[in-house]
Structure formats: C-alpha cells, structure tokens
Structure 1
Amino acid sequence: MDWFLSVDGGGTKTALLLRRADGQEYRARSGASSIKSVGECAARQNLARGLDELWAASGAGPDSVTHGVFGMSGCDSPEDEAVYRTMIESLGWRPGRYTLCNDALPAFFAAADPPGVVLIAGTGSIAMGVDRQGRTVRAGGWGYGFSDLGSGWWLGCRALEQALLYCDGCRPYRPWLEEVARALGAPCLEQLPGTATTLDRADRVAALASVVLGGEPDPNKDAILARGAAHLAALVQAAAKKLGEQPGAPLRLVLTGGCMRSSRYAALVRQALPAGLQNALVPAGEDPAEGGIRMAKRAAARNG
C-alpha cells in the first residue's frame, strides 16, 4: 500500500492522479463527476471509468492505496457528502482510507500552504478559505440556478440570455451571437430558442463561456465580464472576512479554474479586489490533482 490517489472531480471533466512513494505515477481523465452537473448516474459512471483506467494501467486497486483524496465539485452539504460517499464506497473504497472534500481544497493545496483563500471559477464558482488548523469557510457555489456567480455556467447563461433576447426582438444583432448558436448546434441563430429548450445539463451551458471569454471585444461581452469579475471578487472578500485575522502567517490567495485561464478575465478579478488581497496573490498550481496528493500524504501521516 504505497500508492496515493487524487481525484479532481469537476463539473466538466474528472482528472485522476495515482502516484507511488517512489514517484512512479499514472494519470487518467474522464467526463464530469459532479452530481450537480450531470446527475448521480453519469457522475458515478465517469468516476468509475477514470478509476478503472488507472487500475488497468498500474495493476493497483483501492486496497493498494494508502490514502485517496476525492475533491468533488458540488460536495456542498451533508446530503451531497452522503451521495458521494455512497458512490465512492460502491467502487471499492473503505471508510477511513479516503478523504472527501469540495474540489476547492485540493486546488488551494496545489499552490500554497494555509492560511489562505482559493477562488475556483470553472463550470461553477466558489471561494474557500482554510486556516492552519484545517478549519474551512466558504462563499458561493451553492447551486447553478441561484448561485455560482461569475462562473462558466453564469457566463454561459448571460451569453444565451443575450442571444435569446435578440431572437425575441428585444436586442440588436451582434455578430458574436452567431457563435452561441453554433456552440449549441442550432441550425442558425433564429432557431436557437428551440435548441435552448433542450438544455438539461450545466456543463453544456458552461461551454458557452468560451464565447464570452474569447473572440473580438464587444461592449456587451465586456459588460458581462465586468459583472462576473465583480461577483467573483465579492466571493473572495467574503471568504477572507469569514476566515478572519491569521496572526503569524501571511494570507495567500489563489485564483484558479477554467475561467481563470482567460488572462483578461483573471485581470478583471484582480482589479476588483482590494489592495491587501491583490498583494496576497500567489500563482495557481498547474494541476489541482497535485494538491490532492499533498493532502493524501498529510492524511496518511496523521493516521500513522
């Protein structure tokens, strides 16, 4: 049992990393494993597919792993945790041999040590703070229909909103609206409303974020990005306030997630932060799964 496992279970994809104490490693990728993006059945199938790929390549299995960390998007409440634990344990994992947490926590540990705050802006959005004792606080990420502001889902909704308002005759034509129709596979912009009524997964809506984040500048897109950045900056400030003063150690701030790969959007978020938090910024880790490996090794050390 000299393997450590990290699972970064997101709303669009799942990244898995299996690493042995001597440094040998195997990686796998599969579809979304967030129950709030694709539902319990598809989430379990995608998680199982990724794990099976690792076991086939390495010859390992759950009983070969010293400790695993499952950082799962949408793990937001005791009810969510119960669903995820049932899912994980149905795949051969025993209680005590794994850690289940929101995917924000490994993303932080991939870049820094506590105390600090991490903002994830991917399919959804959440700001999470952690202190040196392991206490966590959070802001946002409570659900796609009413939270996750500034996220890929939120940006996608704003893009779709503008396109549908044009189709209804409430907004002037903008060339970038054609990209919304193409991204959803609509035959043309005028037929987008029919296609939109079939949308039933958050990841499909979140895919439209690329239309807002990329392409030529446009006043409407600029306004959407500015609003989204303000939402994300507010989440960071709320999480930092909840975390409180951290004497004896500087606070670290990490901005990560698919939306933060847009240098323009990330810059807008930074500009919306107060100076103290801007000065706390540290580079995001290249791979959130690395943070899960760090957490797994810490857990194994604590457990003896």
Structure 2
Amino acid sequence: MSSKTQVLLIGLDIGGTKTKIAYRISDAAEIRTLVTHGANLKATGSVHVAGLIATIVSRIRAQHTFDDRARIVAGVAGAGRQNDQNEVEALFLQAHTNSKDRLTVYSDAAIALEGAFNGGPGMILIAGTGSGVYARSKAGETLRAGGWGSVLGDPASGYRIGLRALRAVARDLDGGPATALTTYLEKHRGLKGRDQLVTEVYSGSVDVAQISRLVLNLVAEGDQVLNELLDQEIVELTAEVGYLIKDRSEIRLVLMGGLCDHPLFKRRLRTALTTSIPQISFVEPAFPPEVGALRLCE
C-alpha cells in the first residue's frame, strides 16, 4: 500500500426495502456498487439503522483489506430531523469497531437532490411510500415542501392513496359509492365484509402503501371513485411544487420514487404539473442518490 493516506468513501441510500451503496478509494476514480437490505428509521429504530451501517462498512473493509480511515455519508429514510441524524451517528460510533471512521447522516431526500443535479440547482419530487418536494436554488439555498409523514401530509404518496382507497372500500360496504377495489380485496385477499376488513387493517396485516398499486390499475380500468381520489391527491402534490416557486424562470424537475415509475401515475402527474406550472422542464437525474451521498463524502 502507498504511504499516502487513503480514505475509503462510502455513500449509502438506505430505503425501507433496500440499501444502495456506492464507494471508492479517495485516489481512485472507479466507483463500486452494492445492494443489501434496507431500514426505515421510524419503523426499525436508530439502533437497527446504525448497526446496518456498521455492518456495511465492515463488509466493505473486509473485502478490500482496507486499513485507513473511512468517511461515510448515509441518506436514511425517515431521518429528516437533525436529532434523529445525530442519534444514528452516535450509535454508529458505539456499534462500529474502527474509531477512525466518521459517519454523517442526511435525509434520503438530501442525497437524492445532491445526486440528481450533481450539486447544482434544481428540484426533485418524490412520490413513493411518502411524498415531498425538495429544491436547491441558484444561491445554494435548500427549500422543502411536504414530507410531513403519513399523519400530517404526504399527498399522492403510496400510503395516503392506499389509505384513502381503503376508506372508499369502507364507504362502499356502508352503502356508499361502489368501487371495484371492494370486490378485488374480497376475491384476491379474502377481505370480505366489515369484520375482516377491520381486523386485517388494524392488525397491520395490510400493506397500505402497496394498495396504491391496485388503485392505479383499477383507475386504468375505469373505476370512477378511485379516479376522483387519485386526481385530488395529485392536485395537492402539485400545489406543494408551486409553494417553492418564487418566479417564472425555468424549473428543472426530476420525478422520483416508486409511484413515478408507474405509467399512469407519471402521466397524470406530469400533466397536472405542466398545466399548473408551465415553466417546469422535466429532466433525468445526473446520478442516483447513493452517488449523491458519495459526492457529499468528498
């Protein structure tokens, strides 16, 4: 090994289902990637997240017999508050055996924004399990609208669409407007009638966010109740984009998150945005979030 001190740079995008990893040695251009299981701070807790990060760093060290210090940046789902970020950083130091390594924790949105525009100005809209809008101005100011979580906000997110759809099923069972989702859940999930629906939903057996995928498919088949629900959610998310726009200059926007991969959702959202905010220009991200995290290591 060269006498020159090297630094192992590791960028992590820790999502609820998987963690994407990008890393390199400080004096090397090659970026290597890995994927492993994920974690959500609110669902699994700070100790679990810190332990996952420590395990990943140790695994990379073992593969490359690297002895110098490591600098790690992790974007963590659910870690939007500074107190949460500080807690994970402190717990990492307790869980990790190499005292030379240093971890900085950001929200998952922060690393996504960094990667999408290579550190420059622009805006991202995330619609996955949750939702939110994040931007960096030409002056370097970071802006945010939404991202309040499932109780206070997250319009057009998987969870909120799924929850509203289940409420529509409840109204259908009460004699209200009919939705095909009621029949689907009865036929394919065994949720027949009030008692079974209440038991499964309140026990946590139903993945509420995943119901949003069924909603989009049934909207495509012509379900009017779910179509109206989806339109309302998209209008509300579009409004959050508008909250961050201060003038009529061009806005470069990247759409991110699992729902934005669904053709119907993406088409509806793009139409709503361009109708309401004509100066928007849709672009593809320069780099994925894990590379955004890696950039923040440098």
Alignment match, 2:280 = 279
Provide the C-alpha distance between the structure 1 equivalents of 2:37 and 2:141, rounded to a whole number of angstroms. 31
Deviations 1:167-211 (A, max 9, x none): 4x243553333444688xx5333222111111289xx32122211
Deviation, structure 1 residue 128: 0.9
Deviations 1:36-60 (A, max 9, x none): 2444455445545555554554445
Q: Please say which structure displays the higher CA radius of gyration.
A: 2
**1:124–1:37: structure 2 CA closer, same or farther, 3 Å change rule?**
farther
Alignment match, 2:128 = 122
Which of 77, 82, 85 pairs up with 1:81?
Answer: 85
Alignment match, 1:109 = 114
**1:26–1:91: structure 2 CA closer, same or farther, 3 Å change rule?**
farther
**What is the percent sequence identity of the aligned residues?**
27
Deviations 1:51-100 (A, max 9, x none): 55545544458x543x3221122222233223332344344387994432
| 1:27 and 2:34 matched | yes
Listed as ranges, the gaps of 5+ residues in structure 2 are 1-5
Provide the C-alpha distance between the structure 2 equivalents of 1:40 and 1:182, rounded to a whole number of angstroms. 39
Provide the C-alpha distance between the structure 2 equivalents of 1:56 and 1:187, rounded to a whole number of angstroms. 47
Which amino acid in 1 is paired with 2:213? S
Q: Could you tell me whether the CA contact under 8 Å between 1:126 and 1:140 is conserved in 2? A: yes
Provide the C-alpha distance between the structure 2 equivalents of 1:64 and 1:205, rounded to a whole number of angstroms. 42
**1:81–1:12: structure 2 CA closer, same or farther, 3 Å change rule?**
same
Q: Could you tell me whether the CA contact under 8 Å between 1:111 and 1:282 is conserved in 2? A: no
Alignment match, 2:258 = 258
**1:102–1:295: structure 2 CA closer, same or farther, 3 Å change rule?**
same
Q: Could you tell me whether the CA contact under 8 Å between 1:14 and 1:46 is conserved in 2? A: no
Deviations 1:90-114 (A, max 9, x none): 4438799443222112222333242
Q: Could you tell me whether the CA contact under 8 Å between 1:108 and 1:291 is conserved in 2? A: yes
Task: Show the 5 A alignment for 1:1-304.
Answer: 1-20=6-25, 21-31=28-38, 33-44=39-50, 46-48=52-54, 50-51=56-57, 53-60=59-66, 64-65=69-70, 67-92=71-96, 97-113=102-118, 114-167=120-173, 169-180=174-185, 187-190=190-193, 191-199=196-204, 204-215=207-218, 216-241=221-246, 251-274=251-274, 276=277, 279-284=280-285, 287-296=288-297, 300=298
Provide the C-alpha distance between the structure 1 equivalents of 2:58 and 2:184, rounded to a whole number of angstroms. 37
**1:95–1:55: structure 2 CA closer, same or farther, 3 Å change rule?**
closer
Which amino acid in 1 is paired with 2:238? A
Which amino acid in 2 is paired with 1:79? N
**1:210–1:157: structure 2 CA closer, same or farther, 3 Å change rule?**
same
Structure 2 SS opposite 1:149: coil
**1:91–1:252: structure 2 CA closer, same or farther, 3 Å change rule?**
farther
Deviation, structure 1 residue 16: 2.2
**1:29–1:270: structure 2 CA closer, same or farther, 3 Å change rule?**
same
Q: Could you tell me whether the CA contact under 8 Å between 1:26 and 1:54 is conserved in 2? A: no
Structure 2 SS opposite 1:240: coil
Q: Could you tell me whether the CA contact under 8 Å between 1:12 and 1:123 is conserved in 2? A: no
Listed as ranges, the gaps of 5+ residues in structure 1 are none
Equivalenced residue count is 284
Structure 2 SS opposite 1:252: strand
The worse-fitting range, judged by mean Cα deviation, of 146-155 and 214-223 is 214-223
Deviation, structure 1 residue 263: 2.0
TM-score (norm 1): 0.78
Structure 2 SS opposite 1:110: helix
Provide the C-alpha distance between the structure 2 equivalents of 1:50 and 1:231, rounded to a whole number of angstroms. 38
Deviation, structure 1 residue 286: 6.9
TM-score (norm 2): 0.80
